[in-house]
Structure 1
Amino acid sequence: MTLTLDRPWLEWRLPAPMQVLSWSITRPGFVTADRILWREVRNADLPHDLDVLRWLRGELAERGAKDAVAMLTSRDLNAYETATATAEDVTAHCVATVGLSNAERIGTRLDRSGKDWGTINVAVALSEPLSGAALVESLSIVAQARTAAVMDTGHALPTGIATGTGTDCIAVAAPPGTAPYAGMHTPVGETVGRAVYDAVRRGAQVWMDTVRRKDTV
């Protein structure tokens, strides 16, 4: 797998076309893709009257990446994190960008109008061929690991300890197969959970130590 930082893009080239499950605004749901992209943006890039989907599709077309799964973030792409975990014969690779400027506590909603949008964007690629159901379960493991990592960082909000942000996105890639399960009792669940936790935990701590500290001093 090849990871290339070419700002404002971070491109993760998968070893082959894979089934990818995400809620990417350009290609949500179950799709086949050979790369996952992050597009760094600033407030000036996204005025209120902008058709963001049309704009992003145009940006992808200009890059020759219309079929990619793409995510948006205002996090400095230089701060991306990677992690890999292996259990038995299964390997999970994770790439994450972690910003907490629009962090939320689950079940609550703060007024974020006029604020920057940090977001947590997580992509995972697995070596194990998975069924559609197992890919869904893998996505739930990613979400659980991300939440655990953010909570362990201890970012305190008026509503409690942050559990994520209001604009998080997750993409999980795996070869198509028949493996029916991907829970925490399986090597898939173990590797996904560990790789995601490690990458998000490091990224969240970097944000706390740099961006948040700068805003509070």
Structure 2
Amino acid sequence: MTLFVLDLGRDLLALGNVVLGGDFEKVRYVVFKQVDRYIADFDLYASTLLESLGLVGRAAVFFTAADISKMRRAEGRLVELYATVGLANPACIGATHSREEHTVNILVVSRVPLSRRGLLDLYRTAAEAKAATLTARGLCGGRPSLGTTSDAVLVAAPPGDAHYAGAATEIGSETSFLIYEILNK
């Protein structure tokens, strides 16, 4: 399998550093596409992919060199997570980075309605949990790790009024724990 399309069941507000669909856009679908080589124009490739799937303007896109058939999933009371995990090119603070093509891609789908600020806070929480988990795993041999050099995180939630989703909140705590769990499988 080189493609995984997740139907979120309804339009959700999304934020992330994915190629398409992460600029506080409404998305119904999330596409994980496995690639075996570097793509010169990821935007064009993603647009063409969504067009072929009939999902233009309705989906976010992750690219990865990690094996999509090994997609990881975790579910809590407040969030559901999906992740592809490839650790071949660690992003270690103070180190030179390779151009190997592996990624850690994390999708966090919230059941809690969030404002734009709340979505941004959930994104921050997810990115911090990823870095802390991979540092604890020793990805960089004792140095702090940010993850890998091409990671992407996408968070999606129903629009709402909750502005906070950090570690001190119930949703942030659950998200951090599930990211720790999913990256240690």
TM over 0.5, yes or no?
Answer: yes
Q: Structure 1 CA distance, aligned partners of 2:174 and 2:91?
A: 26
Aligned residue number for residue 53 of structure 2: 63
Q: Unaligned 5+ residue runs, structure 1?
A: 1-6, 203-217
Of 32, 39, 42, the match for 1:38: 32
Aligned residue number for residue 178 of structure 1: 161
Q: CA deviation at 1:72?
A: 0.5
1:171-214 deviation per Cα after TM superposition (whole angstroms, max 9, x unaligned): 00110000121122211111211222211222xxxxxxxxxxxx
1:110/1:181 CA distance change after superposition, 3 Å: same
Contact 1:85 1:194 in 2 (8 A): no
Percent sequence identity over matched residues? 24
Compare CA radii of gyration and give the structure with the larger one. 1
1:41-75 deviation per Cα after TM superposition (whole angstroms, max 9, x unaligned): 002xx36xx32321221122111122210010000
Aligned residue number for residue 104 of structure 1: 91
Q: Structure 1 CA distance, aligned partners of 2:140 and 2:177?
A: 24
User: What secondary structure does 1:170 align onto?
Assistant: strand
User: What secondary structure does 2:76 align onto?
Assistant: strand
Aligned residue number for residue 27 of structure 1: 21
Q: Unaligned 5+ residue runs, structure 2?
A: none
User: Please, what is the CA RMSD of the aligned residues?
Assistant: 1.7
> Normalization by structure 2: what TM-score?
0.92
Q: CA deviation at 1:98?
A: 0.8
> Normalization by structure 1: what TM-score?
0.79
Aligned residue number for residue 74 of structure 2: 83
Contact 1:40 1:73 in 2 (8 A): yes
User: What secondary structure does 2:184 align onto?
Assistant: helix
Length, aligned pairs only: 184
